[in-house]
Chain A
């Protein structure tokens, strides 16, 4: 059986079950009450008819001549009524109406028996009651013998049937009234059953949406209440482990932030003095000079690493702020390239200007990272393609190198992800692309990596007018 969709809802199913039970009950009640009432009605009518006929015959019988002549038979027939027939031997009363309905079965029972008999027939859809009786002769000692007179009578039952139909109709009407009432009761019952189910569903929905504080109060002591308690316990345990995980992550982030913060002070000293050192390396022994230069290089690397770590920490802590201003995206990219001395090594394909609202510093960080990467890992020409979409600025940085290994593409924005051992000694901190991605997202934009036919391509998409609370222009 294919279930229709509307039957799938619990409420609908409860409703249907309720109504069905009610209807079946009502039908059974109607049927049995109408049936028994109808039966009683027919029986009582039949009894009344037979008694009347018996009494009528009994009352006139002593007045009849016996053996009867035609006149006696006619008199008897007239007494019983129009639809009657009286037979004695070959004599028969003048026919009443409808006596043709009398069955042979009934005639035989009357002729051979000594009791009044009845039979119901339906002819052309109309119900009839047939009554037949022999008239008896009673001796002084009470013994009865048939007199040979037979009386038949036909009574129309249409009226009775109409009465029964009326009864049935009123019973059906009553039952029909029960239908909306049962529907209402079903709705109420369904509501009371489904309310906790609905609450539980809402709670589960909120849990799924991440609101781990969501609980539903268990009501009563039924299976639903147990389920509610279980769901609550589940939510509790999920919440506990989530809180634990969150705490551990926060600890780790704080640790990274603290470490980089603590490193900044000695690095400040180092940064200050390595310049002094650099100025004096020329007069050093070759070994000492090389050592000094290594110390200087590594100090700068360390500074960059710590700066990147702190930048990442700010993203993690959610303290990174976007400061957008009216700017020309092309000009900003050009400035970034020029400032780093990349102007001659990079091909800039861009329209005259692309006005947008940007955080120039963050855009510079992204561009510097992407172009720096392309120059380091790819082959020239490195091309920066700035284009203006209606709502977005698209900045694509492509190189003509071997491209990214396929297994690297999904992880290229992971922190400290090392594609291969050869890359471990690059000037980058390992955080550059992660920071670039975070900066793109802070703008409400996106940064993706892919391979073209000729090399790797990083595409930055920034909204031209990001939603941003503070507006420095409005001061």
Chain B
């Protein structure tokens, strides 16, 4: 009888403590390191071209878009975005949507230029560990019908 009691108590005590375990999976590994950022420009054939810019780190979407707005530099590529003095872009990430507030008017960008912005933002988002299914809304300084459009990058599907 007493032995049964002891066994019960021992079992009880054993059940309470934290037991050592083997190595168990804890989910996705974090990501986001990169040697540089990828900007999208327009090639000679009028197609979108990703171009790696070695900045030493990935940086934020905002930083990537600032680099994009500062132009292709001497890379032989063109851009569909008019040069502008103010290169700051506001970035807000909402569920499923990345909202970009650009210092541009709709007239400052060609349709390809909008794609450049969308692809650069999405690329940076994905590489910092974000989802590829995000839509991007691009806002301009004046409200236009294009503002409400939810866009995707033709190169990132």
A23 in contact with B8 (CB, 8 Å):
yes
Contacts of B57 in A (CB 8 A): 62-66
Contacts of A147 in B (CB 8 A): 33
A137 in contact with B31 (CB, 8 Å):
yes
User: Majority SS of interface residues in chain B?
Assistant: loop
A61 in contact with B31 (CB, 8 Å):
yes
Interface size on B, residues (CB 8 A): 41
Contacts of B156 in A (CB 8 A): 140-141
User: Interface stretch among A115-123, A346-354, A375-383, A442-450?
Assistant: A115-123
B20 in contact with A64 (CB, 8 Å):
no
In the complex, A131→B27 CA distance in Å? Answer: 11
In the complex, A161→B30 CA distance in Å? Answer: 28
In the complex, A177→B24 CA distance in Å? Answer: 39
In the complex, A68→B58 CA distance in Å? Answer: 12
B96 within 8 A of A: no
* Contact for B22 among A54, A105, A172, CB less than 8 A: A105
| 0/1 string, A43-72, CB within 8 A of B gives 1 | 000100011011101111111111110000
A38 within 8 A of B: yes
User: Interface stretch among B69-77, B122-130, B135-143?
Assistant: B122-130
* Known contacts A63-B57, A140-B38, A140-B50, A58 near B32 by CB under 8 Å: yes
Please report which residues of chain A, range 235-264, place their CB below 8 angstroms from some CB of chain B when the two chains form the complex.
none
- A115 to chain B minimum Cβ distance, whole angstroms, is 5
* Known contacts A42-B18, A119-B21, A122-B18, A31 near B29 by CB under 8 Å: no
Contacts of A65 in B (CB 8 A): 56-57
* Contact for B23 among A34, A46, A118, CB less than 8 A: A118
Please report which residues of chain A, range 105-142, place their CB below 8 angstroms from some CB of chain B when the two chains form the complex.
105-106, 109, 113-122, 127, 131, 133-142
Please report which residues of chain B, range 1-27, place their CB below 8 angstroms from some CB of chain A when the two chains form the complex.
5, 8, 11-12, 15-27
| 0/1 string, B130-155, CB within 8 A of A gives 1 | 00100000000000000000000001
A138 in contact with B18 (CB, 8 Å):
no
Please report which residues of chain B, range 25-43, place their CB below 8 angstroms from some CB of chain A when the two chains form the complex.
25-35, 38
Please report which residues of chain B, range 53-75, place their CB below 8 angstroms from some CB of chain A when the two chains form the complex.
56-60
Contacts of A168 in B (CB 8 A): 12, 15-16
A172 in contact with B8 (CB, 8 Å):
no
A121 in contact with B33 (CB, 8 Å):
no
A-B contact count (CB 8 A): 166
Contacts of B58 in A (CB 8 A): 61-62, 66
Contacts of A24 in B (CB 8 A): 8
A157 within 8 A of B: yes
A395 within 8 A of B: no
A87 within 8 A of B: no
A133 in contact with B29 (CB, 8 Å):
yes
Chain A: interface residue count, which band? Answer: 35 or more
B26 in contact with A164 (CB, 8 Å):
no
B56 in contact with A57 (CB, 8 Å):
no
- B149 to chain A minimum Cβ distance, whole angstroms, is 22
Q: Name which residue of chain A comes closest to B52, CB basis.
A: A140
A115 in contact with B27 (CB, 8 Å):
yes
- B53 to chain A minimum Cβ distance, whole angstroms, is 13
In the complex, A106→B25 CA distance in Å? Answer: 11
* Known contacts A65-B56, A122-B20, A116 near B29 by CB under 8 Å: yes
Q: Name which residue of chain B comes closest to A33, CB basis.
A: B15
A470 within 8 A of B: no
* Known contacts A61-B30, A65-B57, A114-B29, A38 near B127 by CB under 8 Å: no
Top 7 closest A-B pairs, CB basis?
A61-B32, A57-B30, A127-B18, A136-B31, A62-B58, A116-B26, A58-B30
Some 29 contacts from A to B, beta carbons below 8 A apart, are A30-B12, A35-B15, A54-B29, A58-B31, A61-B58, A62-B32, A62-B34, A62-B60, A64-B33, A66-B35, A66-B57, A66-B58, A115-B27, A116-B25, A116-B30, A118-B25, A119-B23, A119-B24, A120-B21, A122-B20, A127-B20, A131-B26, A136-B31, A140-B38, A140-B50, A149-B33, A164-B16, A168-B16, A172-B12
Q: Footprint of A on B, CB under 8 Å?
A: 5, 8, 11-12, 15-35, 38, 50, 56-60, 123-124, 126-129, 132, 155-156
